[in-house]
Amino acid sequence: MTYKRMVVEIGMGTDLQGADYTKAAIRALKDALWHNSLTIAPALGLPRESMMVEISIGVAKPNLVDTKQVEAVLPYGSSTIDVVEGGLDIVSDCGTKTTVIANAAAVVYLNIAEANGTQATRETT
């Protein structure tokens, strides 16, 4: 199957006091997704479940993100996830609390050839 990039969604999420990187990552992905209603798959005659979503998360401590919890946010489609160093940590004045800022990108791909009833190859632009 070949997929073509159709949509790029970008979001930011925070955990204000708990230093919870997974919570911030989930909020960032929700921020990216919940501002849109993707009607492109049905418009092309494809089920929403046919979407392939590449999720990228940036946080200061990538190893502290539970990727399964982040992927569970997607309402449909299949996904891959990559968590990289990024985002921002802000330590409180007293040094006992950390505000975590996460950034998320969700890139949505569809198999356009499938919509046209033909075989396709992957094309990314």
In a domain? residue 123 = no
Cβ pair 9, 73 in contact under 8 A: no
Asked whether residue 94 is assigned to any structural domain, the reply reads yes
In contact, 45 and 115? CB cutoff 8 Å: yes
> Does 78 fall in a domain?
yes
Report if residue 100 sits inside a domain: yes
Instruction: Over range 62-85, report the average pLDDT.
Output: 96
Q: Which domain holds residue 22?
A: 4-116
Does 121 map to a domain? no
CATH of residue 13: 3.30.1330.20
pLDDT given for residue 117 in this prediction = 65
Predicted confidence (pLDDT) per residue in 75-120, tens digit: 889 999 999 999 999 998 888 899 999 999 999 999 887 666 654 4
Residues of the chain above pLDDT 70, percent: 90
12 is a domain residue: yes
Number of domains in the chain: 1
Q: Does residue 125 belong to any structural domain of this protein?
A: no
